Amino acid sequence: GAGGEPLFSSHMLDLSEEPHEENIGICAKYLARMAKINCILEMEIGITGGVEDGVDNSGVAKDKLYSTPEEVWQVYETLSPISEKFTIAAAFGNVHGVYKAGNVVLRPELLGSFQDYAGKILQSSKPLNFVFHGGSGSEKRSIDEARTHGVVKMNVDTDTQWAYWEGLLKFYKAKSGYLQGQIGNPEGEDKPNKSYYDPRKWVRCSEETMRDRVVEAFKDLKAPVP
């Protein structure tokens, strides 16, 4: 920015589709540059299932949905000498999107095993900072368990998309009689409807329901609500 500070406090670099060593190597190069501007790198290992941004991982082998302690340690071992400002989006059964209960098997206890593995080597408690990708639709108990194992950030894009749409949907259902034309509504055939179809009206409703979903996520992670 104009004041010499970065415009963002963190940057996500998802190279999880690449070979593990190549992923970590490129992340190391980026982190070296980002450390100079005090910026956090969020990197991803393993594969998050489902579909996102045109990338379809819905048919991936199930073992690919779970990272291993050794893979996570390799990330820490490579990146920590460069900067402490990095987070790891490790795979523990995460899936982008929302699916019927039972179709997704989250194993947040794996995050605990990753912490234990690294902690024994470093002789410290919970040295890793994790990111929970594909958090939308997750059970509250799974979210809370992941949080206790070092999750500091959770992505809930699909849930916030639905929340935004739901605000508009509820507005339309409540005011549908005023949204069938520019003139004419339940109050009279000559009554104008501009105050109802004005985007500033229904966009605000969407913003409010999306805000409420974000507040819910803050509470799920036991984080202070802004």
- pLDDT tens digits for 51-60? 444 444 455 5
pLDDT digits (tens, 9 = 90+) for 184-215: 999 999 999 999 999 999 999 999 999 999 99
Question: What is the C-alpha to C-alpha distance for residues 13 and 84, in angstroms, rounded to an integer?
Answer: 16
The answer to whether residue 159 scores a pLDDT higher than 90 is yes
Strands 51-52 and 55-56 turn out to be: antiparallel
pTM for the whole thing? Answer: 0.85
Helices marked H in the chain — which ranges?
20-35, 69-79, 109-122, 140-148, 157-175, 194-197, 199-220
